[in-house]
Structure 1
Amino acid sequence: MNLNLLRLASMALIVGTLAACSTRPVATVDSSPIPELRPAPGIPAAAPTVTGAPVAFPKSRWLPVAWSDLPGFESDALHEAWNAWLKNCERPTPAFAGLCSEVRRLSIATGEEQRAWMQAKFQPYRVEAGDGNADGLLTAYYEPQLDAARLPGNGYNVPLYRLPAGFGARKPWYTRQQIDTLPEAQAALAGRAIAWLRDPVDALILHIQGSGRLRLTEANGQVRQVRVAFAGTNDHPYKSVGRWLLDQGLVRDATWPGISAWIAANPGRVNEMLWSNPRYVFFREEPLEGLDAEFGPRGALGVPLTPGRSIAVDRQSIPYGTPVWMWTPGPTVALNRMVFAQDTGSAILGAVRADYFTGWGAEAGEIAGRLKQNLRLWAFWPRHLTPGTGR
């Protein structure tokens, strides 16, 4: 794995270019300007009149549109999206449960057959804010992949903890600094380490993402792949360490070159930087073998995420389990594809807002670390039901 590439993506996460999902702690989103979104050539700026009426959600409005309004719908590789749909059907929401037998049958159908079925069964709705603004923001997240050891030593001295003993009795729990320094906090965590990492910055990356894959060296020397998944937090707010460096006047811009140069020049202050973020995440260990390795962690819907086909949304804008058409013109990557609302997050807020699951490892991290661009969304709802309900 290209560790420099992973470092580059990771530090982009730390300074807040990614937003966090329910399986991860809260992260902040960079407030720098993003380019104005304009319709691609051949795509109408406004939807034609269609049967149906707008539907109001707490944080969005859905406007029924024609299928021809969806940019690129005829060219999407729907068979790839069907894997995510099959996962949805493991825990279907009421609106979509009745269609799961047909979804399973169509898993071996052609793209044309799948498209025709969707057009017959679903009404597309353009998702927009209450004021009619259909433009929004897309970010991304991924699973870091790191080396770890079951026991401390040989450079592995940074723990990843399970939930502590007596966790529910104290809220908020100890801060990150207190966990590292107070004897009573360390006593509550005695024997609770799942694994040990070499680098506290790598641990913070896992805390930001809330899930990761470990190449874990067991006590007997055997190496195996495991997942550490989000189990809970200490209930303190997330603070960006990049923002802390800027506010302290220690760097002029919180990019990877600036932060890495500061760390190299100030090794004795790394803990001070890390402690500026009081939030701490606890994990649970999950096996990672067979089919499990082909999917990501479980999102808020309770099903494993599918790389490139799962998104996190504001649940007050788009209900869990909803098929969604996503259009983003770049500049990092242009995407016209069907995805599924399978996750959420405290920083994923607004009508047209999504966090896109890119997968795991260095390549996924490199994309996730750079992805911050304009977005439009269309939600699909069964024609015989009122949007947002199972009736």
Structure 2
Amino acid sequence: MTPASAETTYSVLDFSDLNGWEDDDHAAALDSFRNTCLDRKEPDWESLCAVSGNIENPRAFFELFFRPVLIEDGQDPLFTGYFEPELDGSLQRDGRYRYPLYSVPPEVRRTGSFLTRRQIEENGALSGRGLEIAWVDDPVELFFLQIQGSGRVRLPNGRMIRVGYGGSNGHDYRSIGVEMVRRGIYEPHQVSAQVIKNWVRRNPAQGKELLWHNPSYVFFREVSEVPAHRGPLGAMNRSITPLRSVAVDPRFVPLGAPVWIEKEGETPIRRLMIAQDTGSAIKGAQRADIFFGTGDQAGRSAGRLRDPGRMLVLLPIQRAYALLPEGEQ
């Protein structure tokens, strides 16, 4: 990992500085770590991965081989949550299932950019090109499926297909919640995913325009080879684990690294998680998105989350101290 900017600062802390560290289930965190550690090809990470397979005391493993590093870039810390939605859909378009999930158009693969959300949806720019993976019955749920980046579609016969992030149209993500606050529709503390959904459904014409405020559009790929009992694939192409996997900004946090989460708010979280995913809205050294699982209950829990706190990255010891300025190492 290289410093993301000149303003980034690094502080190496002790495990005694982590609030609630001794009370966590370190064995559960170690299981998640093993799920992706083989994908780290650097020698120090490979060595730690090899050692992790024969550990009797998971907490001692982390304390012996890692050091917690607080990485700050001047931005306020922010924790949110995400989940894997389940939508009702069909492999054929009909009167109920009218809203398509598209695979990546060839021109996006070539150039990395494409039309805006409005242009795609309002003008039907992709219709008739054979890019449809499935059709669903709710455009609002489809919008939030794109924000989550992965999900499952329940077909009329009960079979599930799983879709994952395939690419995007290259436009920056804009928060609908922030825009609703800017327009005076809600106060910041009132905004959640469910509140946005309800408002858009009550105000269909204005709601469609509101969703078009976010020009970013996500394309999917089918990943049904992942068993239904496993989590969706994250950015490391491995299944992620509820409340043990977190999406981060890889400019600051290396994928596969353990991260210690101290989320404040109404329901504080003190937990060791693994950085196994990314997201278009996850930007900054202290920005993290916690994975809550699959389905409506996970969605309600994730949608309520918008809290401050702090995140510390557990790095191999030599790697951690190498980030400090000369004289502090």
Residues of 1 paired with 2:111 and 2:49: CA distance? Answer: 43
Q: Report how far residue 245 of structure 1 moved.
A: 5.5
Amino acid in the other structure paired with 1:380: L
Q: Is the 8 A contact 1:296 1:307 kept in 2?
A: no
Which of 151, 163, 172 is the aligned partner of 2:92?
A: 151
Matched, 1:230 2:171: no
Q: How far, CA to CA, are the matches of 1:386 and 1:309 in structure 2?
A: 22
Distance 1:357 1:262, change over 3 A: closer
The answer to whether the 8 Å contact 1:242/1:259 transfers is no
Distance of 2:274 and 2:177 partners within structure 1: 31
> Are the structure 2 counterparts of residues 214 and 317 from structure 1 closer, same or farther at C-alpha, using a change threshold of 3 Å?
same
Q: Distance in 1 between matches of 2:169 and 2:297?
A: 31
Deviation, structure 1 residue 246: 6.0
Q: Does 1:260 align with 2:198?
A: yes
What's the RMSD between the two structures over aligned residues?
3.0
Shift of 1:352: 2.2
Alpha carbons of structure 1 residues 359 and 63: separation in structure 2 relative to 1, 3 Å: same
Q: 1:178 to 1:351 in 2, by over 3 A?
A: closer
Q: What is the number of equivalent residue pairs in this alignment?
A: 316
Q: Quote the residue 1:296 is aligned against.
A: 232
Pick one of 120, 125, 137 that aligns with 2:64.
120
Q: Which of 209, 219, 222 is 1:285 aligned to?
A: 222
Paired position in structure 1 for 2:270: 336
Within-5 A mapping of 1:270-281:
270-281=207-218
* 8 Å contact kept, 2:173–2:280: no
1:93–1:321 contact (8 Å) kept in structure 2:
no
What TM-score do you get using the length of structure 2 for normalisation? 0.83
Q: CA deviation at 1:270?
A: 4.5
Larger deviation, residues 352-361 vs 340-349: 340-349
Residue 164 of structure 1 deviates from its aligned partner by 2.2
**CA distance, structure 2, for counterparts of residue 259 and residue 122 of structure 1:** 42
* Offset at residue 240 of structure 1 (A): 3.9
Secondary structure, aligned partner of 2:30: helix
In structure 2, the gaps of 5 or more residues are 324-329
Q: Indicate whether 1:139 and 2:80 are aligned.
A: yes
Please, which runs of 5 or more residues in structure 1 have no aligned partner?
1-54
Change (3 A) 1:345 1:259: closer
User: C-alpha separation between the residues in 1 aligned to 2:283 and 2:224?
Assistant: 32
C-alpha deviation, 1:355, in angstroms: 1.4
Rg larger in structure: 1
Deviations 1:39-66 (A, max 9, x none): xxxxxxxxxxxxxxxx966363332222
Query: What is the SS of the residue equivalent to 1:223?
Result: coil
Distance apart, 1:169 and its partner CA:
5.3
Q: Does the residue aligned with 1:315 lie in a helix, a strand or coil? A: coil
Q: Distance in 1 between the 2:126 and 2:313 partners? A: 47
**1:342 CA drift (Å):** 1.9
Mapped partners of 2:87, 2:13: distance in 1: 45
Distance, in Å, in 1 between the alignment partners of 2:101 and 2:312 is 39
The Cα of 1:281 is off from its aligned counterpart by 1.4
Is residue 30–residue 58 contact of structure 2 (8 Å, CA) maintained in 1? no
Q: CA deviation at 1:202?
A: 1.2
Residue 214 (str. 1) matches residue 153 (str. 2): yes
CA offset digits 1:332-365 (Å, max 9, x no partner): x211111112223343233322111111211211
Letter of the structure 2 residue corresponding to residue 312 of structure 1? A
- What is the CA-CA distance between 1:269 and the residue it aligns to? 4.8
Q: Which of 120, 129, 133 is the equivalent residue of 1:179? A: 120
User: Partner residue of 1:351?
Assistant: 285
Q: In structure 2, what is the equivalent of residue 101 of structure 1?
A: 50
User: In structure 2, what is the equivalent of residue 196 of structure 1?
Assistant: 135
- Equivalent in the alignment of 1:323: 258
Matched, 1:370 2:304: yes
